[in-house]
Structure 1
Amino acid sequence: MKFTNVSPLYSMTVGFDRLFDLLAQAERTEAAASWPPYDIERSGDDRYRITMAVAGFSADEIELIQHDAQLVVTGQRKDAEDRQFLHRGIAGRSFRQSFNLADHVRVTGASLENGLLTVDLVREVPEALKPRRIAIGGSTAMSGQDNAPTAQIERHPRAA
C-alpha cells in the first residue's frame, strides 16, 4: 500500500483538516471494504443517489444510519436454522459500508427493489449559510485621490 505524506500542506491551508483526513482515509481503504459494490450518481443539481447491490438481503436485514456527515449502511443476514445447503454460492456475508457526506447533505429516502438498495440524498444549504452579495457603500471619492488626512492651519489677524 502506498502512503502519501500530506503533512507539509497543513501549514498552507486553513480549515481543510477534514479534507486531508478524508484523503488519508481513502488511501487506507482496502478492496474488501468495497463490498457490496455500489454506484454514486448525481440525479439533479443538489440531488444524489447511492445504489448498492445487496442481493439476498431483505429490507429488515439492512440498516441505514446517518449521523452528522456520515451515512453507515450495515447488512446482517438472518439465516433460517431449518435450511440445509448442499452448495452455498450466493454471497451472504455481513457488511458495513460508510459514506462521508458533504456538509448539509441528508438522506431523503431509501428503497430495496430487485436486490438493489437505493438511497436518495439531497443537499440543502440553509439560507443563513448561502453566499450573499454585500453592497459597498462609502464616499464617492475619485480614484487616484489622496485620502490622507490634511492639516488645517487657522490664521489669526495680527493686532496692530
Structure 2
Amino acid sequence: MSRMTPFSSPLLLGFDSVERTLERIGKGGEGYPPYNIERLREEPTGEEAGANFLRITLAVAGFSPSELEVTTEENQLTIRGRQADDKDRDYLHRGIAARQFQKTFLFADGMRIVGARLGNGLLMIDLARPEPERIVKRIEIVVAD
C-alpha cells in the first residue's frame, strides 16, 4: 500500500525533494539554543533594492566567536557551538552547562547570507531573498498532422 502525501497529486510535478526536506525538518527540533527569525524593515548593510531581508538570531550567551561556527552548503545553513569544559575550575554549583549544539536551517534557492555578528550573547545572521522575476513565456504549439 502506498502512502498518500500532499505532494502525491499528479498536478504537482517535481516536488518530491520538497517532501523529503519537510520530513527531514520534522524529525529535527531540539529547542536549544532558542532563536528568532524576523523580517527586517531596512536593509542590514545597504544591499541592493528589490530584496527581502531576514535575520536569524540565536541566544548563545557564554560562547566566544572561536567556539561558534557558521557554514553553508548548498541551501543549508548550519550553526555549531562547542564549548570546552574548563578543568581548572572547582564548581560548588553548576547551573550553566558547557553545552554543544548544532542548528540547521534550510533556505530557498536564490537566498544568500549577507553576514553574521555576535553581540550581547546573541548571534545574528542576516539573509537576503531577492524578489524573483515574473516571467511569462508563451509556448508554441506544433501541429503534427
In structure 2, the residue corresponding to 1:22 is in which secondary structure? helix
Q: Which residue of 1 aligns with 2:141?
A: none
TM-score by length of 1: 0.69
* Distance (whole Å) between structure 1 residues aligned to residue 105 and residue 116 of structure 2: 15
More strand, by proportion: 2
* Distance (whole Å) between structure 1 residues aligned to residue 122 and residue 53 of structure 2: 19
Structure 1: 5+ residue stretches without partners = 136-160
TM-score by length of 2: 0.76
Q: Which residue of 1 aligns with 2:59?
A: 53
Counting matched residue pairs gives 127
Equivalent position amino acid for 2:39 in 1? R
Matches within 5 A, 1:84-123: 84-123=90-129
* Distance (whole Å) between structure 2 residues aligned to residue 116 and residue 122 of structure 1: 19
* Distance (whole Å) between structure 2 residues aligned to residue 91 and residue 51 of structure 1: 21
Q: Which structure ranks higher in relative contact order (CA pairs < 8 Å, sequence separation ≥ 6)? A: 2
Counterpart among 40, 45, 62 of residue 43 in structure 1: 40
The sequence identity of aligned pairs, in percent, is: 39
In structure 2, the residue corresponding to 1:121 is in which secondary structure? strand
RMSD: 2.4
Q: Which residue of 2 aligns with 1:158?
A: none
